[in-house]
Structure 1
Amino acid sequence: MSAVAHELSPAAVNAKLIALIASGAVFLGVFLSGFVIAEPAPYDLYMVGLMAVWALFGLRISRAAAPLLVLLVVMNIGGMIAMTQMSDIAGTPLYLAVSLFLAFTAVFFASVTSVQPNLYRVIFRAYVMSAVLTSLLGIAGYFHAFPGAEIFTRYDRATGAFQDPNVFGPFLVLPGIYLLHLLLTGPVSRMPLLAMPLLIITAG
Structure 2
Amino acid sequence: MASNNKLKERPNNGVEIMYQLKHYFSKTMLIALLSLLLGFMAVYLTFFFYIPNHTIFPVILFPIIGSVGLVVLFLLKWEKLLFLFALSVGFQLNDPSPYEMMFCLMILLFLVKRIPFNRKMLNNYLFLMLFLFVLFGTFSIFFSINIQRGTAWHLITVYLVLSAFFLVLIIKNEKQLVYFLKGFVVGAILNSMLGVIGYLAGKSQGRGNRLEGFFQDPNIFSPFVVIAIMLVIEDSITPSLFKSKLFKFLSIVLMVGALVLAMSRAGWINFAIALALYAAVKILKGQLRLGFVIKFILVPFSVLLSVPFIFPGLNFMNQLKDRTTLQSYDNERFDANYFTLKVAENHPFGIGPGEITSIYYMDTHNTYLRLFAEYGWFAGIFLMLFFLFLAGVLLKRSLSHDRGDFNLFLVLLCSLVGTLVNIIVVDALHWRHFWVLIALCYYLIFFKKEPSTAIKGEIQ
Shorter-chain-normalised TM-score: which range? 0.7 to 0.9
Give the distance between the partners of 1:203 and 1:47, measured in 2 at CA: 30
Aligned to 2:232: 179
Q: TM-score, length-normalised on structure 1?
A: 0.76
Determine if contact 2:88/2:187 at 8 Å carries over to the other structure. Answer: yes
Aligned to 1:158: 211
Secondary structure of the structure 2 residue equivalent to 1:23:
helix
Residues 83-98 of structure 1 mapped to structure 2, 5 A cutoff: 83-88=141-146, 91-98=149-156
Determine if contact 2:204/2:210 at 8 Å carries over to the other structure. Answer: no
Residues 115-130 of structure 1 mapped to structure 2, 5 A cutoff: 115-130=172-187
Give the distance between the partners of 2:123 and 2:86, measured in 1 at CA: 22
1:104-153 CA deviation, whole Å, 9 max, x = no partner? 2211222222x22211110111111100111123323433x16xx222x5
Give the distance between the partners of 2:246 and 2:122, measured in 1 at CA: 37
Give the distance between the partners of 1:98 and 1:141, measured in 2 at CA: 31
Give the distance between the partners of 2:219 and 2:123, measured in 1 at CA: 30
How far is the alpha carbon of 1:20 from its aligned partner?
5.2
1:42-80 CA deviation, whole Å, 9 max, x = no partner? 210220231243145144343135444443343223222
Determine if contact 1:23/1:119 at 8 Å carries over to the other structure. Answer: yes
Determine if contact 1:69/1:103 at 8 Å carries over to the other structure. Answer: no
1:35 to 91, 97, 103: 91
Determine if contact 2:121/2:127 at 8 Å carries over to the other structure. Answer: no
Determine if contact 1:159/1:165 at 8 Å carries over to the other structure. Answer: yes
How far is the alpha carbon of 1:162 from its aligned partner?
0.7
Determine if contact 1:73/1:103 at 8 Å carries over to the other structure. Answer: no
1:24 is aligned to 2:80: yes
1:47 is aligned to 2:96: no
Letter in 2 for 1:54: F
1:191 is aligned to 2:249: no
Aligned to 2:119: 62
User: Which sections of structure 1, spanning at least 5 residues, go unmatched?
Assistant: 1-8
Determine if contact 2:144/2:150 at 8 Å carries over to the other structure. Answer: no
Work out the number of aligned pairs and report it.
185
How far is the alpha carbon of 1:91 from its aligned partner?
4.5
CA RMSD between the two structures: 2.9
Give the distance between the partners of 1:121 and 1:58, measured in 2 at CA: 18
User: Which sections of structure 2, spanning at least 5 residues, go unmatched?
Assistant: 1-15, 25-73, 259-460
Give the distance between the partners of 2:179 and 2:191, measured in 1 at CA: 18
